[in-house]
Structure 1
Amino acid sequence: MFQPEQISKLNDLETLVFDFIIKSPEQVQQMTIRDLANHVHVSTSTIVRLCTKLGFEGWADLKFYLKNQTREKTPEEQHYDNMLEFNMFLRRMNTDAYQSRLNKAAQMISEADYTVFLGLGTSGSLSDYATKYFVNTGLRSFVITDPFQAIQVKGIGNIVAVILSVSGETEQVVNKELEFKASGAKIISITNHEDCTVAKLADHQLSYHLINEWSKQYPLGNLTTQLPVLAILEILAHKSIDYLVNKDK
């Protein structure tokens, strides 16, 4: 339901609120933010900070999540809870704050001569898809999916590298990111969480905050849905070409 790394960042007052939410989710759903603040004897700003640290845009976003967690689920939903996570991501993505982050990334891409996508495994497949999608949109792009491929981008213009990684900690990806930085490229990271090495090394980061899902048969099989990544990539392509078209006008 909530990520351990998110919970570990809560202070004492926020932990008090979180404890009450976990123990009484149905009661919390009927409360306003002021009701909850009065009940647990904290300020409303404490609750807002709690929501932010848990990956939500605000109190209404958290209540929506609780409502979907506690209602009776259909068999299809029980088999794929990440659909709820994806729904929550779409709500976050449509906020002004997230749109601002997308706009900044799109502007970086529009100002580049080339966009290079980098990823391994599933992220490599998505990088390949993103390259085709960007080229079809009219943006000059290419892809690197081989961890042993040399990075040679000096002298070919202004480069933006879009690095895809669920964990943001894959050694080969981090090494390639460092090569890009040494070559003078700007970095945009797309990771599950912003508190990872790939995101921290990036010039601009986008994250989607989903629950990690693993294969029941193959312990190393990461099945975390990549639907948010597809949404981010396609939106970036459209926003980037819009910037270019408007600039030409």
Structure 2
Amino acid sequence: MSKLKSLIYQNSSKLNDSEIRIIQFVLDNAKLCKNLSLSELAEKLYVSRSAIFRLCKHLGLSGYTELKFYLNEVCLENEQNNNKMNFANNFGADLEKETENLRKYFDSLDLAKFYTELSNASNVYIYSTGWIQQMLSNYLSHELLLFGISSIVLPAAISELEMVGKIAQKGDMLFIISYTGDNKEINDELTKFELVNNKLRYVSFTDLKQNELASLSDYNFYYPTIKFTTTKNASFIMAYSLVDFLVNKFDIWRKEKSEQNDK
């Protein structure tokens, strides 16, 4: 095991959800990241320079320069492992399996109340953690707009979440897109909302069915991730499929409601 991976293992309890996503990206893309400056990596991950620096400190490193030094060892280790492994391409089979599982899961959901509240919401906010989730936020916002629902995509900063808690009106809806749903900082903030402003309806998107965020949310939607064949990276294609399932059924639900009202 490389020195960096050993440090991650030893200090994993100190890392929050965002830091875990950062270090996972760095490990999975060590060859790329070892040549990036601190500013370039921060821009690529849609996080601040200070967030990466805090991660280094939590790992017991002096700073980003030392992190890059240990990435050379990770690159060498990855190259040796790749030379030893004989890969079988399971991605296609896994994708087919998870697509069917997602369809069955989605078909089991009763979404009438959710769609009613979404239609009635004066304001819809979308908050996410991590750069992959940020892209999914933008996609969700675009798809909702196609069906007449305007939304505000918030920057990945707790201060933005705090502001929503202060200005929310009754019936407003807040989507939170998280990988594990166990980001303590976000969950603590949502808990505080309930104490001072219970007007918001929470909708979470997570990779895990059982998590703290899901328990705090009025509605939780689960999306599976699929591992790529030759790396530890994960495909989020099912999260995008979940959004498509949601907006497609929303359109059907809305037309059915319109027909019922016309009778």
TM-score (norm 1): 0.55
Q: Which residue of 1 aligns with 2:164?
A: 151
Q: Could you say what secondary structure the match of 1:78 adopts?
A: coil
Q: Which residue of 1 aligns with 2:216?
A: 201
Question: Is there any run of 5+ residues in structure 2 with no aligned partner, and where?
Answer: 1-86
Deviations 1:127-156 (A, max 9, x none): 122112211221122212332212246464
Asked whether the 8 Å contact 1:113–1:159 carries over to 2, the reply is: yes
Q: Which residue of 2 aligns with 1:174?
A: 187
Q: Which residue of 2 aligns with 1:188?
A: 203
Q: Which residue of 1 aligns with 2:63?
A: none
Matched, 1:126 2:126: no
Asked whether the 8 Å contact 2:224–2:239 carries over to 1, the reply is: no
Cα offset for 1:225?
Answer: 1.7
Asked whether the 8 Å contact 2:168–2:200 carries over to 1, the reply is: no
Q: Could you say what secondary structure the match of 1:130 adopts?
A: helix
Asked whether the 8 Å contact 1:212–1:223 carries over to 2, the reply is: yes
Asked whether the 8 Å contact 1:151–1:176 carries over to 2, the reply is: no
Query: Whole-Å Cα distance in 1 between the matches of residues 181 and 249 of structure 2?
Result: 25
Asked whether the 8 Å contact 2:88–2:229 carries over to 1, the reply is: no
1:173/1:206 Cα in 2 relative to 1: closer, same or farther (>3 Å)? same
Asked whether the 8 Å contact 1:118–1:143 carries over to 2, the reply is: yes
Deviations 1:78-135 (A, max 9, x none): 35x454333222212322x532326354444234333322112211221122112211
Query: Whole-Å Cα distance in 2 between the matches of residues 155 and 189 of structure 1?
Result: 17
Q: 1:224 aligns with which of 229, 234, 257?
A: 234
1:197/1:98 Cα in 2 relative to 1: closer, same or farther (>3 Å)? same
Deviations 1:184-238 (A, max 9, x none): 211121111121111121112221344667996xxxxx83221111111122123
Query: Whole-Å Cα distance in 2 between the matches of residues 163 and 246 of structure 1?
Result: 28
- RMSD between aligned alpha carbons? 3.1
1:129/1:215 Cα in 2 relative to 1: closer, same or farther (>3 Å)? farther
1:155/1:165 Cα in 2 relative to 1: closer, same or farther (>3 Å)? closer
Asked whether the 8 Å contact 2:91–2:229 carries over to 1, the reply is: no
Q: Which residue of 2 aligns with 1:90?
A: 99
Residue identity over aligned pairs, in percent, reads 14
Q: 2:245 aligns with which of 235, 239, 242?
A: 235
Q: Which residue of 1 aligns with 2:13?
A: none
Q: Could you say what secondary structure the match of 2:101 adopts?
A: helix
Query: Whole-Å Cα distance in 1 between the matches of residues 225 and 133 of structure 2?
Result: 15
Query: Whole-Å Cα distance in 2 between the matches of residues 171 and 135 of structure 1?
Result: 31
Asked whether the 8 Å contact 1:191–1:208 carries over to 2, the reply is: yes
Query: Whole-Å Cα distance in 1 between the matches of residues 188 and 201 of structure 2?
Result: 15
Asked whether the 8 Å contact 2:225–2:237 carries over to 1, the reply is: no
Q: Which residue of 2 aligns with 1:109?
A: 118
Asked whether the 8 Å contact 1:151–1:179 carries over to 2, the reply is: no
Cα offset for 1:159?
Answer: 1.4
Cα offset for 1:167?
Answer: 1.1
Q: Which residue of 2 aligns with 1:4?
A: none
Question: Is there any run of 5+ residues in structure 1 with no aligned partner, and where?
Answer: 1-76, 217-221
Query: Whole-Å Cα distance in 1 between the matches of residues 209 and 101 of structure 2?
Result: 15
Aligned residues: 166
